[in-house]
Structure formats: C-alpha cells, structure tokens
Structure 1
Amino acid sequence: MSLIVIAFFGGVFTVLSPCILPVVPFVFARSDKPFITDRLPLLIGLAGTFALVTGIGVAGLAGAAQLNEYGRWIALATLGLFGAVLLFPSIAERLTRPLSALADRIVARSQTQGTTRRIASSMLLGAATGLLWAPCAGPILGVILTSAALHGANWHTAAALAAYGIGAASSLAVASSLGKRALDRLKRSFGVGEHLRRATGALVVLTVAAIATGLDTRVLAHIPGAPTNGIESKLVGVLKAKQTSHDARQGARIMRVSMPAALPVQGKLPSLDGATTWLNSAPLSADALRGKVVVVNFWTYSCINCLRTLPYLKTWAQRYGNDGLVVIGVHTPEFGFERDTANVKRALANLNIKYPVAVDNDYGIWRAFGNQYWPAFYIVDAQGRVRFHHFGEGGYGEAENAIRQLLADNGASMTARDAQSVQGSGAQAAADPADIGSDETYVGYRQAQGFASPQRVMPDAIETYTLPARLSLNDWALDGKWNVGAEAAVPAAPQARIAYRFHARDLHLVLGPSPDGKPVRFRVTIDGAAPGASHGADIAADGSGVVTNARLYQLVRQTGAVADRTFEIEFLDPGAQAYSFTFG
C-alpha cells in the first residue's frame, strides 16, 4: 500500500518536470471545455492508457514493443487531426457529418447523445496522449518497474502504475483548470476566442510534428530539470525506511528463533521445478532431497553482497557434505547479462563453486519461496521442512549452528566445531561496515539516484554530458558521449568518464564488454591520481584495467585511512556497459 500512495505523489510531482511538456498542449487544447464531459475523460484516457501500455511492457508480453510503436503513430495521427480541426473549422464540419450520422444510429435518438459523443472523443484524445507520454524515469517509476521485474506482473504493480498515472492526471487537471480561467478572462477582455482556438490548433500540430521527428527529446535535453528527482528520492527514502524497519523487526525475529534450542517449522521446502537448467548437478527435486539437510541460497554472480557470502557456503558444503548436507545455489538474475547460462558457467568456474546451482532465469523458484532478497538462504531439515532463514549478509554463526543441529537430529555425529575462521579474498572478502558511507548506486535510468551532471538524462539516446564543478558525497556524474539505457550506461566515444564521490574502503563497479564481446580498456584515478597501493583486485597500481566479460569488478581497496574520495573511471574505448556501483 505504501508503494501505491508514494506512486500517486510521484505522479503528482511529474507536473514539475520538463518531461510533461510534450503533453501539455493536448491537455490545454481542451481547457475551455466543461470538466466532467471533456477534460475529465481526457485525463482518464491519459492515465489509463499509460498504465495499460506500461503494464504490458513490464509484463514482457510478446509484441509489446511493436504494439506501443504502432499505437504511437496512430496517436500522432489522431492528435494531428485534432490540431487540424482546431486550426481549420471546415475540416471539423466535414468530419463530423458521417460521425454524427453514425452516432445518431448507435445512440438511437438518446437525449444524451451529444454528451456521449463529447465524452467518447475526449477519452479517445486522452488515450492518444497517454500513448505518447513518456514520463521521466525517476526513482519512483524505477521502483515500480523493478518490482514488476522481480515479482512479475500482479495487481500491486498495476495499482502502482495506475496511481502514478492518476497522480499526473490530477496535477494536469489543476493546471487545466487554471488555464481555463485564464482563457475565459482573455475572451471576456479582448474577444480573442477564435484566435486562441487557432493558435492552440497550431501548437498541437507543431507538437505532433516535434514528437514525430524526435525534436522534443532534443529540445528537452537543454532544459534544466526541476528538482523532481530529489523530491522523488525523498519519497522513495520514506518507502525504504518503512521496509528497513520491517526487515529489522523480521531479522530480530529470525535471530530469536534461530537459536539451537528451538528451530521452529517455517513451512515446507517449495518446488524446485522452476529452474530453467541445473549446473554442477542433475536436476534436483524436493522429494529427492528428503533425508538430507539442505541450504538453499538465492544469489546472482555480480551482486557484491552475494559474493561475500560464498566463502561460508563453500566452507559449509565442504565441511558437512559427508554428514548429509546439500548446499544449492539458486542463481536468480538481476541484470540481463546474468541470464546468459554461459556467463553463469564462467562465474562458477572463476568463483570455484562446485555445489549444485539452479539457474532461475524465469524467477520460478524465487516466487515459489516468496523470496525478495539477494542474498538469502533457507535451511531445510531432513523431513523437507524450512527451519531457518536469513536475508542479507551476516548471521553465519547462527546459520552454522542450525545446520549442525539439524544434521545431529538426522543422526549425524557432530564432532567439536572447527574453530578455523572463514576467509574470503578479493571481492569475496568481508566488508568494512564501520566505514561504509555510500550505498549501491545504479547507473541505468530505471533506478538511478544521485546523478549530478548539469544535463538531464536522455533515455536510450546518445547525448553529451559534463561533470559539475564539484561533486557532493554520493553524487556521481557522466562526462563525454553516453547512451544511458534502463539497466546500463554505454560510452559512445573514447575518453568518456564516470566520476563518483564516495566513502568506503572498497568500490566495485558491475561492467560488461561491448555487445560484440570486444574487450574495453579503462583507467581509474582516485582524487585525480593513480590508485597505487589502493588499487582493487581487477586493476593495476597505475589504474589500468580491461573489461573482458560481464561481471563485478573490484576497482578500489583502500590501504590507508578511509575518507571521502573522488573516483573516476575513463573508458579508453567505446562500448563498455556500466551497470551499478557497490561498496564494502
């Protein structure tokens, strides 16, 4: 419910953004009409069509992109005709003759036939406007789309999209009402009603031409953005605070029930049939695992939090494998490249993972568990019952105690616990939580926050960006020619850079090579100098490195005092794909 409410307010604040400008002429073109029969149906059509088309897109229905593209051109033709009608009344008269005759037959002399026609035509125009409206992909819309990607199309996603559209329509309704008052005053004072109608028609036709040629997006690139992203970020922060509070309470409950003295039954082991394939093993089923204690770990290979749990999972698999423990990794992808089974196989080899891994590209196992987290692990007893679960990093001691208890309950002879500590290296090494002052940051526009370049992000288009004079902590910016997509940003020319002001011991960046697989060279600096001893595992001391495959790259591991630093990465070749920053 919180997401739906915040989505509504996110839509309300969209009216402050330059992204709303292309649809304003279509809304104001009917601002002199009655609200109930003309403006309200138009706004309902706008909000409804936006929610429907966006929902079809996130649901991943076949042909959604083509449907949206065809609808776009139909909408442009409809609105162009509407503008021509405003500009030339004779066109309206010719068009309405056959339409009126048809309406008379359908409505069968109803007294409300005039009203019915006005409502229908207004809703049609609103639907056409909704097909053209592409709101800024800010934090709130990003949260909605990400939720749909993780959990599939459902009523919650549909309600959030509808709330977003209704919020935007509500703001436009207020703006339209103010416009109507202004127009009424002009008509009464100067008698310019006919000129205003023609001017509005001309504006609508020009707007249609601008959208059809892509001129609107080029113009908007040079308009400074209103602080809507900051407002949306605060609203998303409220949502995350609620979720964090819920998670903290849930985590405390998990810790209480995870003590060896009492491991409650938390449900049955769900089906594992949703896996698209299995690696390191033949397909496993819940029935086949009866008699074994099972650890089911949800992870994805470019997730830094997931990587830091691997040393423990590999240790448990080796330490207790002969006692009846089976560790299963469920690889559920976040980014598109993680759906490539070849990439996952390469990651398993590089990470030295030998236990079974279910490739969960369709989120079948994820949904069967009702899981929402990377990483997460569930511990199942020999009777197939879930007895312990933990979300995120940490809790390793309690988890191992649970494993030992369940193995003992199943008849294994547990010797004195091996006191040897678990150690990871490179990106798998434990984080330095006392000095992490920066959070995971996505570079793609769908979830991006903290972007500080003076230019507004233009989705899926090559644009030139510049660095600001100064970066505040946790702000980042682009420099050079970039094509910013939903998941990743791609340098479109050599010497393109990303700068980030961060506070942490480690900095990682998820990177991929060019789409054709060609390696991409890069160079890293910290506060303008080569990293030296503070270089990460994937670069040299002079900051040089190469993107060879899609994965997480450790670029900084500071050896001295942790302070606010400015990180820069310069891509010497075009084509690299930059996905997200993480810290440790």
Structure 2
Amino acid sequence: MDVALVLIGLVGGVITALSPCILPVLPVIFLSGADQNRRPYPVVAGLVTSFSLLTLLGAVLLAALPIPPGAIRWAGLVALVLLGIGLIVPRFEAILEAPFARLPQRSVGRDRGGFVLGLVLGTVYVPCAGPVLAAITVAGATGKVGAGTVALAVGFAVGTGVTLMIFALAGRAVTARVAAFRRRQRAIRVASGVAVVLLAVGLTFDVNLPNYGTALNHEIQRLLPARVPTGSGAPPVLAACVSQALYTSPSDRAEDCGPAPALTGITNWVGDPVTLARLRGKVVLVDFWTFDCINCRHVIPHIEDWYARYHAQGLEVIGVHTPEYSFEHEFTGVQKAVAKYGITYPVAVDNDYKTWQTYGVQAWPSLFLVDAMGQVRHIAVGEGGYDETESLIRELLTTP
C-alpha cells in the first residue's frame, strides 16, 4: 500500500503542478529561475519542505485548536493578495521581506534566502495539495500521522518539486536566450502580480477554475480507510431491525421497530428544515445516503417517484446525507448533488454522524419507513426491494 501511495502521490504532485492551482506561486518560481543571481533550487526546496510539513502537521494541530475552517481559507486569500501586491509594488515587497532581512546574513545568504522565500511560498501552495490533505483528514481524526500518510506526502512532494524545478530552469533558459525578457522583467513582474491578485479575487467570489487534481483527490480518499462511526446508539429494538434488514430479503409486511428517533446533530439543511415531531400524522421515509455512493444514486429516482406520487396523500421524505469520505463533508458538494440528482425533498446534513448513530445505520443507502404514529415499520438497506417498500407506503397511507 505504501508503494502504491507513493506512486499516486507522485502522479498527483505532477498533475497539481500543471493545474491552475499553481498560478499563485508560478510567477515567483519562474522569476527565481530567471534571476541569474539566485539559484532556483533552494526556492523549490523551501516550498516543498514548507507545504509538506504543514500538510503533515497541520491537521493534527488544527484538531487541537478551535480554528474555524473559514479562517484558514481567508488567511490564504490574504496571503495571495499580499504576494500579488508585492510583485507589483517594490516598496511593499521590501516591507514583506523586512522580517527575513533581519536574519543574520551569515546564516542566510542568497541561496538560503531563496530557501526562506520558498518556505513562504509553501504556505500559499498548501491548498493545492488536495490529495495529501485528504490523507491528513484521516490522520487528523486520530491525531496520528501514519506511514501511509507520510508515503503519500513524500510522493506528492517529489512530483511537485520536480515539476516546479522544470519551470524554474525553463525560466533561466528563456532569460539566458531572450534579451527582451531582461528589458521587460519589471513589466512581467507587474503582470504576474496582477494575475495573482485577480486569482485571489476569483477565489473570494468562488469563481470556478478547472482543477485536474480533483478527481485524483477523490480517488485517493477512497483508498484511505473511511472513518465512519460503527457503534450504534439506537434503541435495542431498532438496532435488531437494522441488523435483520442487512442480511434478509425485503418484506412487504410491516414490522414494529419502535419509535423513530429524532434527527439530532444536523449541521445544515438543503431545503426547509423539518422535524419528525412536526410531521407526526404523516408517513415519513427517511433515506440515509451520501453523494459519492453509486447505490444511493440508483435508489434516489425511486424515492423521487414515490414522493411525486404520494406526497399529496401524506407521504413526506427526508434525506439524511451522512458522508463516508472527507470530501463529502463539503456542504457545497451536497448542494450540487441535490441539484444534479433532482432531489426535491429536504436533505439534512449529518456531518457529525449523530443521526446515523441514533438510528444504528450501518450501510448506504438505508431507508426507514415511519408511520403516522412515529413508529418505524420498515427498513430497507441497499438497492432493490422497491415493490415491497412502495406497497408498504400505500398500506401505511391508508391506515387510520
């Protein structure tokens, strides 16, 4: 597994370094190679060292500190703007470099100064390390960084470092052969600064940029162990019904699985929030799903069909989105999935697995059919059993 993760990380590093995510640091990398008085090697080495350490240690530290994720994003955007302004305005760039200029010259020097510059750039490049950050999400959940996580980070660092070094050396080759570049170097720096600031503005307003590493990021997360709670907080009667549904064929006979637990720990909603208490007197279908689950996507059209047919007769549907992988925790991803799959009923976001555990769910998708008195009368796990579930919906809707 470690060898496979190194190879995946290597490919991910190369792809990321070729994607638009590199734009904030690419102008500086290119110019570091173009500057004949500064070697590009320490700049790239500093960048690789910085973002590798930050991604390996960052999640462990963030897990222990009450820092909201939004603060990290805004800090990165501020860094992009400052970097862009520094490229445009030499005096401002001098202010940014002032703290590093105070370091003892004997310990820094020009090449070591390049390493320090690379360390700063690495903090800006951290958001690009999506595949590594996926592994860190798992590591942060346990507070430990395992061998697989380190192997992935090393592979990603090598892939990124080699690609960035090619860019830097290309900048030097171009400079050595094109005299016009030297005459226009100031204009190029200004243009690069403007590009960086515009990128920061685009990210602030969520302008979509193509990112070739997104699919790879998701694939890597699927290779890593999903940290979904397995313990059940469900009442014994409900837990027994869930276990039976896992290993038996669906039945069209109503069961008695006890009261349906309330929806707890919901972090967000797509659509209007609802509660089972408010829906008392209605037949309610509760669907536990997650947007990357292919089986869930196959079941959704059937649920939508039932909702369209029987809603006027008293059927309500609540989707409970409980993520399996870290990228499924993103609320925007849930919103896009709801729109993409044409889901018209409200969806509760159960990112903390509170409702998942309260119902004793063990697999996606899991359907809980609740009667008008608030009792769970049927549980279906996985695909299939659609005729049986629909038959019970009709039966419960006609039961006084």
Is TM-score (shorter-chain normalized) higher than 0.5? Answer: yes
> Could you tell me which amino acid in structure 2 is paired with residue 545 of structure 1?
V
2:290, 2:296 within 8 Å by CA — same for their partners in 1?
A: no
Aligned pairs for 1:229-308 within 5 A: 229-231=214-216, 306=230
State the partner residue of 2:235. 349
State whether residues 4 and 163 of structure 1, in contact with CA within 8 Å, keep that contact through their aligned partners in structure 2. yes
Provide Cα deviations, 1:254-289, integer angstroms capped at 9, x if missing partner: xxxxxxxxxxxxxxxxxxxxxxxxxxxxxxxxxxxx
Contact in 2 for aligned 1:42/1:125 (Cα 8 Å): yes
Deviations 1:25-52 (A, max 9, x none): 22223230359x5311111111111122
CA distance in 2, matches of 1:136, 1:540: 48
1:45 paired residue number: 46
The alignment partner of 1:173 has SS state of helix
Query: So what's the TM-score if we normalise by structure 2?
Result: 0.55
Q: Within 5 Å, which residues of 2 pair with 1:168-247? A: 168-185=160-177, 187-188=178-179, 191-204=180-193, 207=196, 209-210=197-198, 214-218=200-204, 221-226=207-212, 228-231=213-216
Deviations 1:323-354 (A, max 9, x none): xxxxxxxx4xxxxxxxxxxxx7xx2436667x
Shift of 1:14: 0.8
Q: Secondary structure at the match of 1:29?
A: helix
User: Which deviates more, 90-99 or 126-135?
Assistant: 90-99
- Counterpart Cα distance in 2 of 1:21 and 1:184: 23
Change (3 A) 1:91 1:426: closer
1:174 Cα offset (Å): 1.6
Give the structure, 1 or 2, with the largest relative contact order (CA under 8 Å, sep 6 or more): 2
Distance 2:138 2:129 in 1: 12
CA distance in 1, matches of 2:189, 2:114: 16
How many positions carry a matched residue from both structures? 306
Partner Cα distance (1:224, 1:161) in 2: 23
The 3 A distance-change label for structure 1 pair 215 and 504 is closer
Is the 2:8–2:220 Cα contact (8 Å) retained in structure 1?
yes
CA distance in 1, matches of 2:24, 2:9: 21
TM-score between both structures, scaled by the size of structure 1: 0.40
CA contact (8 A) 2:86 2:92 kept: no
Which position in structure 1 is the counterpart of 2:23? 21
Deviation of residue 526 (structure 1)?
2.6
Counterpart in 1 of 2:14? 12
SS at match of 2:306: coil
Question: Which residue does 1:120 correspond to in 2?
Answer: 112
User: Which residue is equivalent to 1:83?
Assistant: 87
Identify the match of residue 163 of structure 1 among 155, 158, 166.
155
SS of 1:545's equivalent? Answer: strand
Q: CA deviation at 1:163?
A: 3.4
Letter in 2 for 1:125: L
- CA deviation vs aligned residue, 1:180-209 (integer Å, no higher than 9, x gap): 333444x33xx34132233224423652x4
Partner secondary structure for residue 317 of structure 2: strand
Query: Judging changes above 3 Å, is the alpha-carbon distance between structure 1 residues 137 and 80 closer, same or farther for their aligned structure 2 residues?
Result: closer
1:505 CA displacement: 11
Measured at CA, do residues 526 and 161 of structure 1 come closer, stay the same or move farther in structure 2, by a change above 3 Å?
same
More strand, by proportion: 1
Assess if the C-alpha contact under 8 Å between 1:491 and 1:571 holds in 2.
no
Distance 1:69 1:503 in 2: 33
**2:10–2:155 CA contact under 8 A, matched in 1:** yes
- Cα RMSD, aligned residues only: 5.3
DSSP-derived class of the 1:79 partner = helix
In the alignment, the residues of structure 2 paired with residue 125 and residue 431 of structure 1 have an alpha-carbon distance, to the nearest angstrom, of 59
Distance 1:525 1:121, change over 3 A: same
Matches within 5 A, 1:365-380: none
Which of 243, 246, 257 is 1:430 aligned to? 246
Quick one: distance in 2 between partners of 1:98 and 1:144? 31
Q: What is the CA-CA distance between 1:498 and the residue it aligns to?
A: 8.9
1: CA distance, partners of 2:100 / 2:297: 70
Distance 1:55 1:183 in 2: 36
Corresponding residue for residue 305 of structure 2: 529
SS at match of 1:544: strand
Inter-CA distance 427–494: structure 2 relative to 1 (3 Å threshold): farther
Deviation at 1:99, TM superposition (A): 8.6
Q: Distance in 1 between matches of 2:128 and 2:26?
A: 15
Show the counterpart of 2:138. Answer: 146
In the alignment, structure 1 residue 130 sits paired with structure 2 residue 128: no
Contact 2:9–2:132 (CA<8 Å) still a contact in 1? Answer: yes
Residues in 2 aligned to 1:166 and 1:548: alpha-carbon distance in whole angstroms: 40
Give per-residue Cα distances to partners, 1:84-121, cap 9 Å, x unaligned. 5xx64x88899999998x78x753xxxxx9xx522122
Aligned to 1:369: none
Classify 1:184/1:236 alpha carbon distance in 2 versus 1 (closer, same or farther; 3 Å): farther
Structure 1 pair 71/218, CA: closer, same or farther in 2 (3 Å)? closer
d(CA) in 2 for partners of 1:10 and 1:134?
14
Percent identity over the alignment? 20
Q: Which has the higher helix share?
A: 2
Task: Tell me, in whole angstroms, the C-alpha distance in 2 between the residues paired with 1:218 and 1:98.
Answer: 28
Distance 1:427 1:137 in 2: 40
Q: Structure 2: which amino acid aligns with 1:195?
A: R
Secondary structure of the residue aligned to 2:343 is strand
Decide whether the 8 Å contact of 2:43 with 2:117 is kept in 1: yes
Listed as ranges, the gaps of 5+ residues in structure 1 are: 108-112, 244-298, 307-330, 332-343, 354-423, 434-487, 508-523, 553-565
C-alpha distance 77-33 of structure 1, shift in aligned 2 (>3 A): same
Counterpart CA distance in 1 for 2:96 and 2:136 is 41
Structure 1 residue 8: Cα displacement: 2.6
Secondary structure of the 2:344 match is strand
| Aligned equivalents of 1:118, 1:138: Cα separation in 2 | 32
| Residues 231, 97 of structure 1: alpha-carbon distance in 2 compared, 3 angstrom cutoff | closer
Provide the rounded CA distance (Å) in 2 between the counterparts of 1:60 and 1:98: 25
Distance (whole Å) between structure 2 residues aligned to residue 506 and residue 17 of structure 1: 33
Which residue number corresponds to residue 545 of structure 1? 317
Q: Give, in whole Å, the separation in 2 of the partners of 1:138 and 1:93.
A: 32
Retained in 1: the 8 A contact 2:270–2:346? no
Structure 1 residues 117 and 162: CA distance shift in structure 2, 3 A: same
